[in-house]
Chains A and B, each alone.
Chain A
Amino acid sequence: MSHVLEVRNVAKRFGGVTAVDDVSFCVDEGEILGIIGPNGSGKSTLFNCVLGQLRPTSGEVLVDGRSVTGMRPCDLNRLGVSRTFQLLQVFPQLSVRDNLILAAQEHQGTMLSRLFGRPDAGLTADAEQMISFFGMSHLAGEMAGGLSYGQQKLLDAAMAFMAGPRLVLLDEPAGGVNLTMLGHLKERLKTLNSERKATFVVIEHNMEFVMSLCTRVLVLAEGKILAEGKPAEVRSNPKVIEAYLGH
């Protein structure tokens, strides 16, 4: 069986700077892969290469064994690959409910159905379910722009799950989120992973969060894979400790 995500020898150079240098790894169904590394180690660039926001200089990205290198993000989205953002990316003047409906509505229909089809594209029930799953029922009708930072992060995560994706890439989901909310987020992600068989790749700086959430961890330093393994192995790897503390 093919891997849900396979990254083959991906490199990305910006002029003379090599941000990602010949990185290869696989993610299998049901895994939660954490990617950690010091600032500037190429984590976000790698993400952007996988998600089609950047075209890799060389190498290949495969989803379910099919090459998706350089595919547009919206087409990847239709293939069941979605993402959350390091910096908040919600629609501030739409309600929480409308944000969620929007996140899934473009997967169906034509221009005519946009005009004359059901206004909610039959997604209100899904949206409500997602809202209550993330414990935001009291916020459903609120404008997303009025939510707290942590709540917007939750909404961002919820939007990534609306279209029923198989693979979700989360870019620093824990950044700036308080401890209570963080515990809530982690538990929700674990539930989605076990109940919906969703596969995750998570970029995160919060070690505690990564170590307790992920099944496998990849350490990136200066654009290369430095170490890979179970959270506990990676944590005690001297090379990893040096990369974080040595410079």
Chain B
Amino acid sequence: MSAFLQLLISGLATGAIYAIVAVGFTLIWQTSQTINFAQGEFVMIPAFFVLAAMKLGGLPFWAACLVGLAVSVFVLGVMFKQAIVDPMLKHGVLPLVISTIALSLLLKESAKEFYSSQAQPFPSLVPSVDLNLFGAVISTQSLLVLGVAFVTVGGLNLLLNRTRFGRAMQATAQNRSVARILGVPVERMVLATFVINGLLVAIASILISPIYLVKFTNGETLGLAAFIAAIVGGFNQVRGAIVGGLVLGVVDNLSAAYISAQYRGAFPLFLLIAVILLKPEGLVGRREERTV
């Protein structure tokens, strides 16, 4: 039982990170039909920004984190939209998707080329201590991740559902032309979702790096996990991404422990196939109808 609890909590912690990344993924999909295949690399990169700020700028860790957040918002949020999404979206969704795949390669190779191909240690936000809870060993890391994820996702939910800003953003996602007529500054709302995504990936990056170390290949698994989480939960709903992320983290952890560690990587994919076959709109998603 205690082993189960232990696996559950560490699974939820991993899942919470997947959820944060997947939420950003679905947000920019909803407002600008961007399927960002570089999302995994977007999580890998901010940790390098933080390390660079510490090494080159000589900043203390907390200040470097703030710099990392700011740079991520600017580069992965604003610049990504202005330099890649806006020019490519005119040509259709597929060219944009291919551009994001190219971007993922560029980011990965740049990190390797300009920083290091070796895994870098990353400072932790809290001292790593193992706590004993009902016989289960829980690390402070896991609790921190869960706490920060909870606050982040909760804050985002308040923003989307309890402010005029959120209402305007939802209107932009649901019917852009009418939103524009009613005076919603549609372009700024779309930009805001990219800024939010930049913030979310940076938070995920700072949370996950002390656990997995900073390496240029980190994005591969994370990007896939966020993509699967979004599909499992429901692509068109923020809460779908949250549910999908948590489910994925837990399934991953429990299946590795109780079924087969060797086939660990396969279980999320089994889950993906099952959801696509049985409930293609996702666990909490809504069916989408499109006229052709």
Contact = CB atoms under 8 A, between A and B. Distances in A.
A182 interface: no
Contacts of A92: 174-175
B281 to A, nearest CB: 14
Contact of B181 (A77, A101, A119, A121): A77
Interface stretch (B79-87, B118-126, B140-148, B163-171): B163-171
Interface stretch (B182-190, B205-213, B239-247): B182-190
Interface string A93-130: 11000100111011101010111111111000000000
Contact of A83 (B159, B162, B167, B181): B181
Most chain A beta-carbon contacts within 10 A, residue among B163, B167, B168, B182: B182
A147 interface: no
Nearest to A73: B181
Nearest to B161: A119
A94 B171 contact: yes
A115 B171 contact: no
Interface of B: 159, 162-165, 167-168, 170-171, 174-175, 177-185, 188, 286
Nearest to B166: A119
A91 interface: yes
Interface string A73-92: 11001100001010001111
Contacts of B179: 91, 102
Interface in A148-168: 159
B278 to A, nearest CB: 24
A30 to B, nearest CB: 25
Given A91-B171, A94-B170, A115 B181 contact: no
Contact of A93 (B164, B170, B188): B170
Contacts, number: 75
Contact of B171 (A83, A102, A114): A102
A103 B168 contact: no
Given A91-B178, A93-B170, A94-B170, A107 B183 contact: yes
Contacts of B168: 102, 105-106, 114
A74 B188 contact: no
A119 B162 contact: yes
B165 A114 contact: yes
Contact of B180 (A74, A98, A120, A159): A74
A31 to B, nearest CB: 23
A94 B174 contact: yes
Contact of B167 (A74, A94, A159): A94
B180 A73 contact: yes
Interface of A: 53, 73-74, 77-78, 83, 85, 89-94, 98, 101-103, 105-107, 109, 111, 113-121, 159
Contact of B164 (A83, A90, A103, A121): A121
Closest 9 CB pairs of A and B: A106-B183, A114-B165, A74-B183, A73-B181, A89-B178, A91-B174, A114-B164, A115-B165, A119-B162
Given A89-B175, A90-B175, 17 more contacts: A74-B180, A74-B181, A74-B184, A91-B174, A91-B178, A92-B174, A101-B167, A102-B168, A102-B179, A105-B167, A105-B168, A114-B164, A117-B164, A119-B163, A120-B164, A121-B164, A159-B182
A46 B167 CA distance: 31
A106 B182 contact: yes
Nearest to B173: A93
A83 B182 CA distance: 10
Contacts of B167: 94, 98, 101-102, 105, 119
Nearest to A92: B174
Contact of A78 (B164, B165, B183, B188): B183
Contact of A106 (B163, B175, B184, B286): B184
7 contacts: A92-B174, A94-B170, A102-B168, A105-B164, A111-B165, A114-B168, A117-B164
A159 B184 CA distance: 14
A105 B163 CA distance: 11
A83 B181 CA distance: 9
Nearest to A99: B171
A106 to B, nearest CB: 3
Contacts of B177: 89
B120 to A, nearest CB: 36
Nearest to A107: B183
A60 B10 CA distance: 67
A93 B178 contact: no
Contacts of A119: 162-164, 167
Contacts of A115: 159, 163-165
A74 B182 contact: yes
A216 to B, nearest CB: 26
A156 to B, nearest CB: 9
A192 B175 CA distance: 27
Nearest to B175: A91
